[in-house]
Structure 1
Amino acid sequence: MKPIIHLKSISEINRFVQNKTQHPLVSVIDFSTADEYLEEGTRLSADFYTIMFKNYCSNHMKYGRQSVDFQDGSLICIAPKQLITLDNDIEKKENMMGWGLFFHPDLLRGTSLGNKMGDYSFFSYETSEALHLSEKEKQILYDCIQKIETELQENIDSHSQNLIVTNIELLLNYCSRYYGRQFITRKSSSSNTLSQVENVLKDYFRSDKLKETGLPTVKYLADQVHLSASYLSDLLKKETGMNAQDHIHYYLIEEAKNILLNTDCSVGEIAYSLGFEYPQYFSKLFKQKTGQTPVEYRNFN
């Protein structure tokens, strides 16, 4: 296995592809002019955010644990410290088209965007859920990139950071819109995932796993349907109005209701049987979800 190439700064990614550094914290790279040849199996990680768009049919890369089909007209967003593995043969330079935007978290410190980065959950997508863009969407994102690139070519002054960050935020907001559109256009696939989630949770609560391993986590649920935790939560939220944790809690509360009405077990015994280490946490969640304490629910029903 090849060693990981870890890029700590924007200047390092620029040196890596022989691109000129115009700003210490942000860079736009035209893939058609990138001179670095990367071998199959090359593993990369970085201390900065990466947004890459490739406008040609290409190979696969491994992002996180699974393979990403980096198709014609697709875009991926990668958070700092994530691992990318180039999985197949690399495109010849003459066939390469597309762009990459790379920006360090330090660029965002003290800005409103810095406080909002956690809202862009697509940076946590780890699997094959790249964003596939229409021609119109490609052009809109490219217009944002061109504005950033134009600003990078200017001399750095007191307005530079604000203008660059503003255009990055605009691009990210468009990405949010387009991912929302993609959830809708993939509705049949999303419905299938929803059915899988429901079956996984039903099987989990019917089995002995609650006693053996406790409550299912969002990560467990996501692993069962081969998605990242963030993507699964966003998909479920779009489909049902409830994220992955909400779905887990729904099945938990339904199971709790059944036990409360069909057994004489104490609230503490029920809490332990449902995987809670402390009964008061169970009672608090039950009241939050139903408006009643477990005892009140049992007495009124």
Structure 2
Amino acid sequence: MSAYLHLQTIPDLFTFFEPHSTPQHPLIAVVDFSKVDKRIDEETRILTDLYCILFKDYCNNSIRYGRKVIDFKDGSLVCMAPGQVIELDAESFEEMRGWGIFFHPDLIRATTLNHKMKEYTFFSYETAEALHLSDKEKQVLQDCIVKIETELQENIDIHSQSIIVSNIELFLNYCTRFYGRQFITRKSTHGSVVGQIEQFLSDYFGRPDTSDKNLLTVKYLADQVNLSPGYLSDLLRKETGKNAQEHIHFYMIEEAKNILLSTNKSIGEIAYALGFEYPQYFNKLFKQKTGKTPVEFRNMN
């Protein structure tokens, strides 16, 4: 029978991982998995209200996130935002090597990092899109962890939060850099994805039968190549300079131009054919992308 846990706070986390220990800080913790002596019940599902950053060199147990098995054998890092579910198989934490950083959103709520978190799009990536680290990169991130742990061992004072948050931000900035490197080193694979996306969009908007179309979303597009919306957008931006939404808009507007110039369909009919529920939204997007309304574009050509 599967077990379900909801970890809402750092004390909850310690109750699960280290029941005989006391948190050094109420809003953040660093867990050394090699020191965790715990047996996991079969198919344990954990919902956490914390930001979770997990790194493992290797492990015997299976961890699933988004229903996919996380492969940590090469040494990889996964970042999860609050509200995500982790699923653990029935295994021991013995012989695991790695660490986890867990922090509550309240730790950063009144800081500039809180507003910057949306820029760290890797928190929405799937596990198959984990960050695979070189030895040098591992050491850089480990140095950040050491600084956070050192600060946690000090008595909490008026400087504690800013120092801890600054080191978290430094850690995340390094992750952004390392993901940039990963996009470059996997360029050949990513080039294939770009080709698939462009072919799909060309076919999708070039279909004669458009009566059953809904407005194309980034999630739907990402599903076509088995990637998360965030990862696909970042991949496309690195490869082409345009994110996934911009690619959708480009092909949509190009098809709109074709229809405007080759048929007598009304603007409403064209909008519905492209998936818009309301023609005024189509008008607004078309003018935003071309500088002209659909009617003005048709009349000029």
Pair 1:136 & 2:136 matched: yes
SS at match of 1:55: strand
Aligned position for 2:219: 219
Name the structure 2 match of 1:4. Answer: 4
Residue in structure 1 matched with residue 195 of structure 2 by the alignment: 195
* Cα distance in 1, alignment partners of residues 184 and 81 from structure 2: 25
Change (3 A) 1:7 1:119: same
Match of 2:38 in 1: 36
1:128 is paired with a residue of what secondary structure?
helix
Calculate percent identity across the aligned residue pairs. Answer: 63
- What CA distance in whole angstroms lies between the structure 2 residues aligned with 1:38 and 1:195? 43
The 5 A counterparts of 1:77-156 are 77-87=79-89, 90=91, 93=94, 95-156=95-156
The 3 A distance-change label for structure 1 pair 283 and 15 is same
Aligned in 2, Cα 1:192/1:59: closer, same or farther, shift over 3 Å?
A: farther
Report what 1:69 is aligned to: 71
Cα contact 1:60–1:70 (8 A) shared by 2: no
1:22–1:251: structure 2 CA closer, same or farther, 3 Å change rule? same
Report the alpha carbon displacement of residue 176 of structure 1 after superposing the two structures with TM: 0.7
Q: Which sections of structure 1, spanning at least 5 residues, go unmatched?
A: none
For 2:287, the aligned partner's letter is K
- The answer on whether the counterparts of 1:65 and 1:126 sit within 8 Å (CA) in structure 2 is no
Taking structure 2 as the reference length, what is the TM-score of the superposition? 0.94
Check 1:282–1:79 CA distance in 2 against 1; reply closer, same or farther (3 A cut). Answer: same
Letter in 2 for 1:184: I
Give the TM-score, by structure 1 length: 0.94
Query: Is residue 67–residue 87 contact of structure 2 (8 Å, CA) maintained in 1?
Result: no
The separation in 1 between residues aligned to 2:59 and 2:182, in whole angstroms, is 19
Give the counterpart letter for 1:69 in structure 2: D
Compute the displacement of 1:232 (Å).
0.9
Q: Distance between the aligned counterparts of 1:243 and 1:71, measured in 2?
A: 31
Which residue in the other structure is 2:57 paired with?
Answer: 55
Paired residues in the alignment total 299
Residues 124 and 96 (structure 1 numbering): CA distance in 2 closer, same or farther, change over 3 Å? same
Task: State the alpha-carbon separation in 1 of the partners of residues 124 and 165 from structure 2.
Answer: 20
Unaligned runs of 5+ in 2: none
Q: Is the 8 A contact 2:61 2:93 kept in 1?
A: no
Shift of 1:55: 1.6
Give the aligned partner of residue 165 of structure 2. Answer: 165
Aligned pair 1:179/2:171, yes or no?
Answer: no
Q: Secondary structure at the match of 1:211?
A: coil
Q: Secondary structure at the match of 1:275?
A: coil
